[in-house]
Amino acid sequence: MAKVAVVVFCLLSLLTLALAHDPAPLVYTRQGAVTGIRLKERGKLIDAYLGIPYAQPPVGVMRFRKPLPVKPWYDVFNATEFNPGCVQTDLPLMKGAAFNMSGTVEDCLYLNLWTPERTCLTKSKSPCKTLLPVLVYLYGGFFGWGTASAFIFDGVFLAARANVIVVTLNYRVNILGFMNASIPDSPGNMGLYDQVEALRWVKGNVEFFGGDPNAVTLAGQSAGAISIGYHMMSPMSKGLFHRAVMLSGSPSSLAYADTIDQSANFRRVSQSQDCVDYSLPWHLQKEDMVECLRRVDAHRLVNDAMASLAYRYVTVLPSYGDDFLPYSPVENDRIKLNVKDVLLGNTRDEGALFLEVFAAQYGFEVGDVDGLTALVLSIKTLFNIKLTESRELANAYIEEDDVENQLAALKGIKSSLDDGGFECPADLFSELAEKNNVTVYRFLFDHRPSWSPWHPSVGATHNDDIVFFLGTLHSDRKAVNETVSRDLLAVYRKPPTPDEYRFSDELVQVVGDFCWSG
């Protein structure tokens, strides 16, 4: 069961290019020439350019800083392999199961691009006269995990089916992406600034691949969708994209982030690495503390820091009040949106997944305590609120006669997550969009995958929709990196049903049509 969840819900193994491929046409970007590989999908030729740097490596003195544009290169850049994801801890999925992320690296700001074959690219250095719309995808992972090299984000299927250019990218996560020391050297939101830099790269270069820089759709799921909501509000992202696809997330999904004490988190992280001089007031040594943290091994820093934070799922998150996000995402009267069309949706049982994740992260099962206590603790932790407030909310989700009932507690936790993290935020965002004359198309994903590892009572839950919308049901499981255990590959080797393939094809076409015309 645990092994199935690792594969189905994360699938964070890297693609291996097991067979030799023909080279893709040489493309001359503003930074230099790149070559890639030519793939074939559904009888169509797709040119893939994998692992293109879009920013300077965020290492050494650049750790915790905003990214800088990538420097030009003078030789042909060989864009034929994915780059690993940004440094992060192992990803807990359910009790006794976590995904090994030790292969992640700090030099991680790279993107991948898939384009249908453009014969115009082989004839000259000039852009194609007929340009394709572009979809840029941002992965989820609660701003603490994720990698663009996961095979569920392979863009070849969407590019072939929808006739669009697809871009995926790595951005910094965890404390390396979101620690906020409230100083220029560590402003917080580094992962969001990474996304801006990638969008700028796309704006400046996608035309050379045959893409239209004025027809960019930004798509993402969970934290990726929340990020998109922030980009719609950010003055820095204006003009960098024009439409949005948001799966299972919207700006106020993390409204409780306002309650996070960023200064306290920074102190705890610094204390975990002995980077605090207790003879001095802490606010007089922020720069020294950050400089000390820059000298620590990245993997050790992230793992030690996470262990030092009380609620690891709700403490390392985006913040507002900076150049990227000047205002709180819930201050609707002060916010103007940067797009014209939005495709917004949730799954039927979003909250069900987090029940297992919560138990995996904090080492207890809901059955260990009575129903009401489990519900109170879960709401308090997941929404980072006071215990008294959590009790009030819990009482609204469980009947007085059911305080000992474990099933009632499970339903209450799931419902509170559905409402507080997804449904209500989606409603609020839709209202904001209407005020800004933005067209919103909403949907509910209600198909439980045939391979679902969860209890039969759980319907379509968080993450279930990704492979359907991106078309990666068609992914060649034999091409998954060999570091994934054979047991996991054996479990996932069971193919989806014919109806699921057809359903996915229909959803991919919906996404493609949206990119083309809204």
Annotated catalytic sites, by residue? 222, 350, 462
Q: Which DSSP letter does residue 80 get?
A: B
Task: Look up tokens 């023909």; give the residue.
Answer: 22
- Contact between 149 and 14 under an 8 Å Cβ cutoff? The reply is yes
- The edge-to-edge listing of strands for the beta sheet with 77-78 is 27-28, 33-35, 77-78
- Nearest to 249, CA basis, from 384, 428, 376: 428
Q: Report the alpha-carbon distance of residue 35 to residue 92 in Å, rounded.
A: 37
Which amino acid would we find at residue 272? S
Q: Report the alpha-carbon distance of residue 254 to residue 262 in Å, rounded.
A: 15
Beta strands in 10-122 (DSSP E): 22-23, 27-28, 33-35, 37-41, 44-53, 77-78, 91-94, 97-99, 110-116
Q: Pairing mode, if any, of strands 165-169 and 243-247?
A: unpaired
Three state DSSP letters for 305-358: HHHHCCCCCCCCCCCCCCCCCCCCCCCHHHCCCCCCEEEEEEECECCHHHHHHH
CA 236 → CA 43, 133, 338, 399, 465, distances in Å? 40, 22, 10, 47, 30
Q: Residue 47 in 3-state DSSP?
A: strand
